[in-house]
Amino acid sequence: MELNLTDVDAIIDHWGPKPDSLLQIMLDINHRFRFLPRESMERVAERLRMPVSQVFGVANFFKVFRLKPQGRVLVHVCTGTACHVKGTPRLLDRIQQDLHLRPGDTTEDLSLTLETVNCVGACASAPVVVVDGVTYGQATPTEISQLAKKLMETNKA
């Protein structure tokens, strides 16, 4: 997706170019582009008449903001205590092999992003992998391998 500063300006205009709107503006930009492009943060700083360092500081402080492009499909592997004890390390190894990604990486075609998360709140179903909001509980390496292969096939650009 190519950055369109007109879209950024529209978001800023919607909320009003004032410092009080910074978080909502950044949330909307993050949602629109699936991350916060550098140029968008520079435009926000310019339009809100605030230092770029302040906008970057907010972007780095809140975990909700992404500074790198995300894939269309998000794969979250839970690394919480219950999941870890029940086999997440094996699941993560397998999914990394199958997707050819490390946690935090996105495929070149922006189809998939692999991430680890501290807890998804499904400890009774450990180990857990969440793919675009769908929870796969009590997952085995074989099941995760099949899921990864299916994801790669269905998300080719």
* Residue pLDDT, tens place only, 69-120: 989 899 999 999 999 999 999 999 999 999 899 999 998 888 899 999 999 9
Question: Tell me, what's the pLDDT at 2?
Answer: 61
82 in Cβ contact with 123 (< 8 Å): yes
When the pLDDT of each residue in the chain is averaged and rounded to a whole number, the result is: 92
Q: Say whether 96 sits in a helix, a strand or coil.
A: helix
Please list the residues that pair with 112 across neighbouring strands.
73
Confidence of residue 157 (pLDDT cuts 50, 70, 90): very low
Q: Domain residue spans in the chain?
A: 5-61, 73-154
User: Is the pLDDT assigned to residue 156 strictly greater than 70?
Assistant: no
* Cα–Cα distances in angstroms (integers) from residue 6 to residues 1, 66, 101, 145, 153, in the given order: 14, 20, 33, 42, 35
User: Is the pLDDT assigned to residue 153 strictly greater than 70?
Assistant: yes
Confidence of residue 14 (pLDDT cuts 50, 70, 90): very high
Specify the fold of 73-154.
Glutaredoxin (3.40.30)
